[in-house]
Structure 1
Amino acid sequence: MVEGDNRGERIAKFLSRAGIASRRDAEAMIEAGRIRLNQEAVTHPAVFVKDGDVVLLDGKPVSAPERTRLWRYHKPEGLVTTHKDPEGRPTVFAHLPPDLPRVISIGRLDLTSEGLLLLTNDGALSRRLELPETGWLRRYRVRVHGGVAPEKLKRLADGMVVDGTRFGPIEAAIDSVQRANSWLSISLREGKNREIRRVMEALGLPVTRLIRVAYGPFQLGNLTRGAVEEVNGKILREQVPGLGK
């Protein structure tokens, strides 16, 4: 975990890689006085952790980060992608196998959405793969109510503004039509909060089902609903350059 000048790595990054929280959340923990390094209170994020240092969160030792791991999870509808929900709704993380280490999600799927959700024990990887600059395409199968005129979908190619929010270009095509419903294939690279639902609603096509089938090179495939499967480490390193071993 050496950063080139032998000082180690910044404590927020250490906590992120240890799967404790995102860097932003780790910085909030530091500000709240919850982090100690070698029994000294950490008061700012520009503190470095070296091999052999002891980091405490709320008085409990934080284990050194393990190797970066990634899992594919078939999220069912009816679960929220958060560790704790203020409304008391069931969460993804409460339904994961008990033998899984602490993980965080890469992106989110809302309560009524389903399909592929990537999980990792490395907060830095999560942040990296969520960034639009990473360029990973996110693909969905989407059922909408109503007939779909192809010219409506063409409007998505240049992006749209909905209620003051600018959404980037979206690729969309009609897969099939079943009575009052249409199935679409939709691809995008950014994935803002409820982006597909909001854009489709603006086109007069309310979404009745949304399934993510791919996130970058990783596919939902035949993974059964609620199942978790780890991505082979070699494949992960091939797909994420610079990740290391």
Structure 2
Amino acid sequence: MTKNIVRISKIISYYGFCSRREAEKLIEAGKVKINGKVVNNFIVNSDDIKKIEVENKELQRPLSTRMWLMNKPPGFICSNKKQNSKKIIFEIIPKKIKRVVLVGRLDMFSEGLILLTSNPKLSTFLENPRNKIVRKYIVEINEAISPEILKKTSSGIVIKGQFYNKLKIKTLKYSSKIFLKIELKEGKNREIRNIVEYCGKKIKSLKRLSFGPFNLTNEKLGEIREIPQKVLENKLKSLGLKVEDYFR
């Protein structure tokens, strides 16, 4: 069975009781119980949770899981904390969209699909590599990679001590431009950039097109749209999830 490990503070924040930082202070003070027992660590398998109590008050799950799709522009980092002079993605997320977590982070120079959800349990499921959720990308590179190197790369490789699993790579040519269409099932930090660099080439642009059943359509850079509940329910079903676990 796949374990969906999540920070308890994320769940408490999702329930709307307090911020994550405040939740961690409550955990340290022994004021948080899960299934009637005081918790003494900061993570939990979300599948095991039957009841959460904070300061002896049982938390009630919000009415429904919500999800938004965003076409991230380059130049922003995927963080909710300001880092020096760097722009963060939450600067362009409308303030009415509150208490959300990001699904599928992209580095500052990349663009494309980012998901936002009000439910950290869903975020954890989607990002867990054991669930093998496919991510698709289109990457422009400076020159073509030989078929021999592509074959070796797609079979799984070790780069600077980091193992990268099998992935699908296909070369596409449009006029004088060279692109790679890439599919992978995990999201290790700078994975695609490290692999292309390993192949001796340079990335000119990197865009994520889809994450599991969620796809970009005609969204402009920076545009955010909410996924209708019925559509979201169907997409969760396609992932083998029980809708009743995410909506009440």
TM-score normalised by structure 2 residue count: 0.78
What is aligned with 2:242? 242
What is aligned with 2:173? 176
Larger CA deviation: 170-179 vs 93-102: 170-179
User: 1:187: Cα distance to partner?
Assistant: 0.6
Distance 1:151 1:235, change over 3 A: same
Contact 1:17 1:124 (8 Å CA) reproduced: no
Alignment of 1:147-162 (within 5 A): 147-162=144-159
Distance 1:208 1:63, change over 3 A: farther
- Select the residue among 213, 222, 230 that pairs with 2:209: 213
Task: After superposition, give the CA deviation of every residue in 1:183-214 in whole Å (9 maximum; x if it has no partner).
Answer: 11111001100000000100011112100000
Partners of 2:22 and 2:234 in 1: how far apart? 28
Does residue 192 of structure 2 align to residue 196 of structure 1?
yes
Residue identity in the other structure for 2:220: T
Distance 1:13 1:111, change over 3 A: closer
User: 1:151: Cα distance to partner?
Assistant: 2.2
Contact 2:28 2:40 (8 Å CA) reproduced: no
Alignment of 1:104-143 (within 5 A): 104-143=101-140
What is aligned with 2:66? 69
- Select the residue among 72, 76, 79 that pairs with 1:79: 76
Distance 1:107 1:37, change over 3 A: same
Distance 1:71 1:214, change over 3 A: same
What percent identity do the matched residue pairs reach? 30
What is aligned with 1:49? 52
Distance 1:18 1:205, change over 3 A: farther
Distance 1:70 1:183, change over 3 A: same
Task: After superposition, give the CA deviation of every residue in 1:3-36 in whole Å (9 maximum; x if it has no partner).
Answer: xxxxxxx9646416437788xx898555555x85
Partners of 2:193 and 2:151 in 1: how far apart? 17
Task: After superposition, give the CA deviation of every residue in 1:137-159 in whole Å (9 maximum; x if it has no partner).
Answer: 10001011122222221122211
User: 1:178: Cα distance to partner?
Assistant: 4.7
Partners of 1:110 and 1:21 in 2: how far apart? 25
Contact 1:18 1:123 (8 Å CA) reproduced: no
Distance 1:171 1:43, change over 3 A: closer
Distance 1:29 1:66, change over 3 A: farther
Distance 1:117 1:26, change over 3 A: farther
What is aligned with 1:232? 228
TM-score normalised by structure 1 residue count: 0.79
Residue identity in the other structure for 1:119: L
Partners of 2:86 and 2:28 in 1: how far apart? 27
Unaligned runs of 5+ in 2: 1-6
User: 1:44: Cα distance to partner?
Assistant: 2.7
Provide the aligned length of Structure 1 versus Structure 2. 223
Unaligned runs of 5+ in 1: 1-9, 56-61
Partners of 2:19 and 2:144 in 1: how far apart? 43
Residue identity in the other structure for 1:92: I
Distance 1:37 1:132, change over 3 A: closer
Partners of 1:98 and 1:14 in 2: how far apart? 20
User: 1:239: Cα distance to partner?
Assistant: 2.1
Partners of 1:29 and 1:158 in 2: how far apart? 45
Partners of 1:76 and 1:229 in 2: how far apart? 15
